[in-house]
Amino acid sequence: MIGWAFRMLVIWGGIGLLFYAVVGSRMLAHQDATATAPNNTAAAASSPAARPRGAMPNSLTFRANSQGHVLVDGAVNGAPVHFLVDTGATAVALTMHDAEAAGISPSSLDFSMRTTTANGVARAAPVTLREVRIGQLEVDEVPATVHENLSISLLGQSFLTRLDSYEMRDGVLTLNYW
């Protein structure tokens, strides 16, 4: 009877060990594939080789105001800018005032774009921002637009898609980056 019990223990232990090895190797393969696969929300995230194995992304969190809007203080080309986070905006959009503070000369702007906004059709000028900084997060060479009649600058997808991910949950916006 003891021999039979010992044999069963060895058999089931071997099956368990085999299961653990198969599942463990699949999980490692999945992690490696995830780390090397292109991420549709991180068009310009750092390369997987730059990410230490098992490292957690950095994150910033911002709470929405009573109207449900997330407002963040940042900087464009070193100049302070107060942004409204707008996940529906294709690009970062600057007010004329914020663009000028960031070193963009109004005379250099070509208002060749037409944009459709909640307030109707507006004219905009395409620009590339040297850097956009939110807290310790800095993103370089950000496509943006400067709008003639914008009351607050918008932090749009041309910035947000450069992050590893972002999420809005229970009134808190979390920006994850490496």
* Domain co-membership, 62 together with 33: no
pLDDT of residue 12: 79
Which candidate, 100, 84, 102, places its Cα nearest to that of 92?
84
Q: pTM here? A: 0.69
Is 99 in the same domain as 147?
yes
pLDDT digits (tens, 9 = 90+) for 3-33: 777 777 778 777 766 656 655 555 544 444 4
- Residues in Cβ contact with 164 at an 8 Å cutoff, skipping those fewer than 6 apart: 39, 41, 42, 45, 57, 176, 177, 178
126 and 166 part of one domain: yes
Q: Look up residue 48 and give its two tokens.
A: 């997987």
Task: Give yes or no for residue 55 having a pLDDT over 80.
Answer: no
pLDDT value at position 37?
Answer: 42
For 86-118, give one letter per residue: b (16+ CB within 10 A) or e.
beebebbbbbbebbebbebeeeebeeeeebeee
Same domain flag for 25 and 65: no
Is 172 contained in some domain?
A: yes
What domain range includes position 110? 58-177
Who has greater pLDDT, 64 or 42? 64
Please count the structural domains in the chain: 2
According to DSSP, residue 175 is labeled: E
CA gyration radius, the chain: 24
